[in-house]
Structure 1
Amino acid sequence: MRLKLSELASAAGSALAPGDDRDVTAVVTDSRAVRPGTLFVCLSGEHVDGHDYALKAQEAGAAAIMGTRAPQAMPDGLYVPYVRVEDAVKALGRMAALWRDRCAGVKVIAVTGTAGKTTVKELLAQTLALAGKTARNAANLNNQIGLPLSLLATDGDEAFWVMEVGISHDGDMDELGGIVRPDVALILNAGAGHTEGLGARGVAWHKARLLHSVPRDGICLISADYPDLVREARAVRGDLLYFTAEGRPLQFRGAPAGNEGERGRYRLNLDGRACDVLAPFRGSYGAENCIAVAAVASLLGLTPETIARGLAGAELPAQRFVRKQAGPWQIIDDTYNANPLSMARMLDAAAELAHGEGRGCFIAVLGEMRELGGLAVQEHERLGRHLAEIRPCAVFWKGGQAEAVRAGLEQGGYTGPLFTPADAGEFCARLNGLEQGAGRGGLVLFKGSRSNALEEWLSALQDAAAGQRGM
């Protein structure tokens, strides 16, 4: 990025003193990321106030500081230009929108959905990179702070920007859509997630709001496998394109076609052109990911051969169905986050993997699904019934709603144990006790909402296994 400070200040709703204008080559909110030429934006959080780091940013070479404090309330010794704004988060969005305007030659793809959007964003970006320079959000920086920072971190000479858009409150999609204004909108799916903040209109309604921000000559691609999503998207506009992973006779469709080692094979049809691909995951849920990636890439001009090469070489993001080993246990690390749709999919995929590879016991190590509001008890009971159907050897639970899960397990006729360990030590002891009884280990899925920090239990299990090897 390269813009004048005066342009950024104007977009943010402020102004500069005469003589203060200069080039800005980056915008950051973390003082540790400041480099010469950076605009440091001070955000005020519950525990940290960015204004207190203004001098540190200046020492690191910041070209200017932006914040909400009055100039006289800033730390003594600040000599670089200070831009005062009313709302620093909204200022980030306005500055990102300005940069989006300046980069009209870039094809911008926005990816949203309830489950799998980070994985699809990563695989799509890695595939498109075979056809041209591509930028994407780092990790899942997809909200009112992360998305603008991701846009502002681009060079502007890319062929493609692949931007994940995440929402949790009413109005989020309108705000983020107005910033990113995609040439291509991809809505992967819609299910219960962040329902506490999204209100009564439903997740599909909020996801479909992204389509309002696509220009009339843009591409709107949605899954046909979610009736609520199809209904809400059609209410926004009629020029929709569809993909399916459930066998519907549509322009873009995909289906599982077996496995090769730890990778899955999928058979795709791209507007009449066959495309068989290998992908870095296994299971039926992967068909949705593959056809979504391939459909967008095809619409942007990539050949089936290039798409297959991109998916075959793609790597999954951290903490998303990553396979590890801890002593006798094969681990599936999917600890980043969870909602009812993603939880059900990962349970099915892990159970299929355990039974298909003859890995002995399948153990589900799960955490509470947060931000479900009034649906929390209902969805956790449903999770318990789903667990009963796939019959794990044992279930471990961390966080609230354990009794709702237990009720669902009982409704489904499950007779195995449900453990609620008090800490990582108790978890390891109980799990390894199961292993000693079975005499053979098995496959363990770790998945729960981010705030459960299930990776702490996973790390404890790995440390315990490493300690045993060292004895």
Structure 2
Amino acid sequence: MNSPFSFSKLLNLSGGFFVGERSRCAEPSTICIDSREAGPRSLFVPLRGERTDGHLHIESAVIAGSSAVLVEQAWAEAHTETLQSWSSLYPVLFFPVDDTLKQMQELAASHRMRFSDVKVIGVTGSNGKTTTKEMIAAILETMGRTYKNHGNLNSEIGLPLTVLRMNREYDFAVLEMGINHIGEMDVLVDIARPDTALITNIGSAHIGYLGSKRKIAEEKRKIFSFFGESNNAFISENEKFADVLAENMQGKLYRFGVRSLPELREVQDMGLEGQKLLFTDCTIQLVLPGIHNLNNALAAVMVTRSLGASWDQVRIGLENLNAVFGRSQILRGRIDIVQDCYNANPDSVVAAVRMLVGMPTQGRRLLVLGDMLELGEESEDSHKTIGRTLTDSPVDRVFFFGTEMKAAAREYKLAGKDVYHTDDYHSLEKTLLAAVEPGDLVLLKGSRGMELERLTAPLLEDQQKKIS
């Protein structure tokens, strides 16, 4: 397959203009936006961010071997001599464009259209996107060549990178599509063009940027924008915004969940070992605990069954699945740790606490709760609500961490509860290590920016020391 970033394609983006000596340069075969990932024959795309400007790292990428670089026109005009100097020193071409991000997205949209025979499944929603994507991909991998986002490359930056790295033919592509502002789904769906699409749920993730749950629903439903009568859409049977999501949608609408899958006979809670799903034609041991992971699995079952998966393929796929980093990871030892700290919003926190309370344990249930970020004006009220909700939960001790969690801790204390709160990580670690005892079950839950996984190694090491 020809490279999606050939010189001819890059010249189309730059209006035919470039800086450098073409005869010295090899066409790029890979793409990166981080100069630390640059290598021989890579296309480097510098992006402007809140903290830094990728243009500051162009020389590092070129030294590492990048043979082509997109540069913003305004930056190029202000650094003409620098570009000329680099092009004389290194075998690299520079292509000035209006907006490097938009041009990268345009390349991705064009590249996607070359995979006309690939069945593309789009996955979005406020919670459970990544886990559901992994479940769907695990089943589809038993059916044919399957591509998926690596890690969390699902945004207006991550998705085009994901698509542009599709470098061979596949039977299926499972593309997670995450948004945090109005208009982003328009960009993502134009790139992905899914044939089948799933919305896991509508919650309060990123509500600070999107404004309200209804606004979130109105944005998420755009995943169905290019649907026709032959396309399949999947929405939870419990979705309160189902009518909003399905409004003006073309194609066939299916609901997923316990009541919507007649083949599901029984679900057995196995605690830390996960749960056993008894279907009419097979029994599946799911390693992930919690009702939210059950819903994710049922969504994956219905989507893949619609694509022709047999029950044996469903079983093999789900039973070969391992927990994704930071999402319901179970770490067993003298203490048991549930590492669920990749994302947090009011809905996912409630789901995680419900999971914690339902798990059997020889000791106490301890909850380390970090800030829920990106909630905007809703943040204080949301944290207060979590604090009040926890007062009725049979969790033995709660450790509140972060500036936003101060509101939750205050509500918790008003109910007469013993409260611990800090916004200093080292204080949190020291206090938690002093409190934990063999047999305890610890849940780490917080937004990615709180980095609660930092506690995992100290907790495990501390228990090992106590053994020796």
Q: Same fold (TM over 0.5)?
A: yes
Question: What residue number does 2:112 align with?
Answer: 100
Question: What residue number does 2:355 align with?
Answer: 349
Q: How many residues matched? A: 455
Pairing 1:300-339 to 2, within 5 Å after superposition = 300-325=307-332, 328-339=334-345
Match of 1:217, SS state, is: coil
Deviating more after overlay: 20-29 vs 182-191: 20-29
1:222 aligns with 2:231: no
Contact 2:68 2:94 in 1 (8 A): yes
Tell me how far apart the structure 1 counterparts of residues 82 and 457 of structure 2 sit (CA, whole Å): 42
Question: What residue number does 2:392 align with?
Answer: 389
1:77 aligns with 2:86: yes
Question: What residue number does 1:61 align with?
Answer: 65
Tell me the amino acid that sits aligned with residue 359 of structure 1: Q
Deviation at 1:127, TM superposition (A): 1.7
Deviation at 1:287, TM superposition (A): 1.7
User: Which residue of the other structure, out of 444, 452, 459, is the alignment partner of 1:446?
Assistant: 444
Match of 2:112, SS state, is: helix
Match of 1:420, SS state, is: strand
Deviating more after overlay: 198-207 vs 366-375: 198-207
1:265 aligns with 2:279: no
Question: What residue number does 2:36 align with?
Answer: 32
Question: What residue number does 2:427 align with?
Answer: 426
Question: What residue number does 1:377 align with?
Answer: 380
Tell me the amino acid that sits aligned with residue 108 of structure 2: A
Deviation at 1:67, TM superposition (A): 1.4
Contact 1:255 1:284 in 2 (8 A): no
Tell me how far apart the structure 1 counterparts of residues 436 and 459 of structure 2 sit (CA, whole Å): 12
Deviation at 1:435, TM superposition (A): 4.0
Question: What residue number does 2:16 align with?
Answer: 15
Name the CA shift for 1:401/1:33 in 2 (closer, same or farther; >3 Å): closer
User: Which residue of the other structure, out of 395, 408, 414, is the alignment partner of 1:405?
Assistant: 408
Deviating more after overlay: 361-370 vs 79-88: 79-88
- Taking structure 1 as the reference length, the TM-score comes to 0.88
Tell me the amino acid that sits aligned with residue 112 of structure 2: R
Name the CA shift for 1:56/1:388 in 2 (closer, same or farther; >3 Å): same
Q: Which runs of 5+ in 1 are unaligned?
A: none
Q: Identity of paired residues, percent?
A: 29
Deviation at 1:443, TM superposition (A): 0.4
Deviating more after overlay: 48-57 vs 290-299: 48-57
Deviation at 1:146, TM superposition (A): 0.6
1:295 aligns with 2:302: yes
Tell me how far apart the structure 2 counterparts of residues 455 and 448 of structure 1 sit (CA, whole Å): 9
Deviation at 1:294, TM superposition (A): 0.9
Pairing 1:104-115 to 2, within 5 Å after superposition = 104-115=116-127
- Taking structure 2 as the reference length, the TM-score comes to 0.89
Name the CA shift for 1:5/1:126 in 2 (closer, same or farther; >3 Å): same
CA RMSD of aligned residues (A): 2.6
Contact 1:51 1:74 in 2 (8 A): no
Deviation at 1:429, TM superposition (A): 4.0
1:142 aligns with 2:151: no
Q: Which runs of 5+ in 2 are unaligned?
A: none
Deviation at 1:304, TM superposition (A): 0.9
User: Which residue of the other structure, out of 96, 109, 122, is the alignment partner of 2:134?
Assistant: 122
Contact 2:149 2:162 in 1 (8 A): yes
Name the CA shift for 1:335/1:258 in 2 (closer, same or farther; >3 Å): closer
Deviation at 1:384, TM superposition (A): 1.9
Deviation at 1:466, TM superposition (A): 4.2
Tell me how far apart the structure 1 counterparts of residues 119 and 132 of structure 2 sit (CA, whole Å): 17
Match of 1:109, SS state, is: strand
